[in-house]
Amino acid sequence: MVLENRNPQGWKKNFDGKKKWENNNADHQGKWKKKPIHAGEHFVDVPLPKSGGRSYTVSMAVPASILEETCLKDELRTYVIGQLARAANIYSIDEIIVYDDGCWRKNDVQSHMEMMHMLLEYQECPQYLRKHMFPYHKYLSHVGVLNALNAPHHLRANQWCLYREGVVSEKSLKTQSLVDAGLQTELTIEQKLQPGLRVTLKMPPEAKEMRKPYATVVSPDEPKVKHGFYWGYSVRSADSLSKVFTECRFKEGYDLLIGTSDKGDDVAETEFPEFEHALVVFGGVEGLEAALEADTDLEATKPEHLFDYYVNTCPLQQARTIRTEEAVLISLCSLQYKLIPKTT
C-alpha cells in the first residue's frame, strides 16, 4: 500500500522555516546583548518638583493609646496606622512622633507603641526594600490591609529619578559596595558599607546606559532640601507628652507648637507666624487634657499653656467625637494653607 504524501517537500519548507526562525532569534538575542541592561528607552523619567528645595519641616505627634481605645483587633489597628501614614504622605509630614499619653485601660502600652512605630516605618519604606528591612514579625501579620502610599520615593522598576532608596547588599567588592535599589541590576557605590544598611542614592543620568551602573550615597534630606522632593517621614517614640518636645531631633527645637482640641480657637480665625520646624500634636480619646494630667514632668495646668496655638480644626462638627485618625486628616487639611515657612 502506498501512502499519499499530503505535503510534498513539506519537510524542507518546515526545516527552512525553523532555520529562518533560529537565525532571526539569534539576531534578536545579539541585539539584546549589545544593549546596556538599563537601556534608556525602558525608563520613564521622573521630573524635578517645580516648587524647588525646602529646609522647613512639619512634624505631628499621635498617641499610641488610640490602638487600645478604638480598635479591638490587630487587623483594624494595622488599618488605622495605615491611615495615619497615608495622611502624613498626602500632606508632606516630615516626622511622626508616637507618644505615650498615659491613657491605658490595660497594660498594652509597650506592645502598641512598638506596633505603631514598626508599621509606620514599614509603610514609609519602598516596597522593594521591605524584604530586606523587615523580617517576619507578628505586628506585620495584617499588612495586606494597608493601602499603598504611592510616595515619590516609592519608585517603580521602570522609573528613573535623580534619587533612589536602596539597601546595601551582602555581596561586595574590595573597596566598594553593591546596593539593591529595585532595578534590574545592583548599583555600585564607592564606600564600603555594612550590609543591610538603607541608603539614599543620587543617580547620575549616564548610569541608565551602563551595564554596571554606579551611584553616590547622599544625605536622606538632600532630595527635599535641594530639589523639593517629598522623601518620606522619620518616626520616633516618646515615653510621655513632655518628651515629644524635649527629645526633638532638631538642634534649635520646634519654633511653632500647635495643639488640637475641640476646646481650641477656630483655626479659620487663627494666623500663624512663619516657622522653620512646626509641630502639630493630637490627643487620644480623652484628649490632650488627659495626657497632660498623666505627665508629672509638665508644670502646666492647662494643655493650651503647652502650645503657641491651641486650635479647633473642625468647629462645625456634628458627631459627638472625632476619631484621632480622622482628626489628623481634617487638621492637616485645615492647616496646609495656614502654615507659612520662613523664607531664606
CATH number of the domain bearing residue 92: 3.40.1280.10
The values of phi and psi at residue 226, to 5°, are -85, -35
Cα(306)–Cα(277) distance, integer angstroms = 16
User: In a 3-state reduction of DSSP, which class is residue 63?
Assistant: strand
**294 belongs to a structural domain:** yes
List, for residues 35-81, the tens digit of each pLDDT value: 454 444 578 999 999 989 999 999 999 999 999 877 889 999 999 99
**14 belongs to a structural domain:** no
List, for residues 320-329, the tens digit of each pLDDT value: 889 999 999 9
- What pTM was estimated for this model as a whole? 0.86
Number of alpha carbons in the 13 Å side-chain half-sphere of residue 101: 26
Confidence of residue 20 (pLDDT cuts 50, 70, 90): low
Q: Indicate if 136 and 241 belong to the same structural domain.
A: yes
Q: Indicate if 195 and 138 belong to the same structural domain.
A: no
Q: Indicate if 204 and 237 belong to the same structural domain.
A: no
CATH code for position 203: 2.40.50.140
Q: Indicate if 193 and 260 belong to the same structural domain.
A: no
Q: Indicate if 193 and 257 belong to the same structural domain.
A: no
**Which residues is 311 bridged to in the sheet?**
265
Which of 222, 239, 262 terminates a domain? The answer is 222
Confidence of residue 4 (pLDDT cuts 50, 70, 90): very low
Residue 305 cell numbers, joined: 499653656
Q: Indicate if 184 and 237 belong to the same structural domain.
A: no
Q: Indicate if 216 and 234 belong to the same structural domain.
A: no
Confidence of residue 210 (pLDDT cuts 50, 70, 90): confident
User: In a 3-state reduction of DSSP, which class is residue 167?
Assistant: strand
Can you give the residue range of the structural domain that contains 169? 159-222
Total tally of structural domains belonging to the chain: 2
Residue 93 cell numbers, joined: 509630614
**48 belongs to a structural domain:** no
**21 belongs to a structural domain:** no
**199 belongs to a structural domain:** yes
Cα(195)–Cα(134) distance, integer angstroms = 14
Taking Cα atoms as reference points, which of 312, 328, 216, 308 lies closest to residue 264? 312
Cα(306)–Cα(317) distance, integer angstroms = 25
Give the least confident one: 102-111, 226-235, 330-339: 102-111
Q: Indicate if 145 and 168 belong to the same structural domain.
A: no
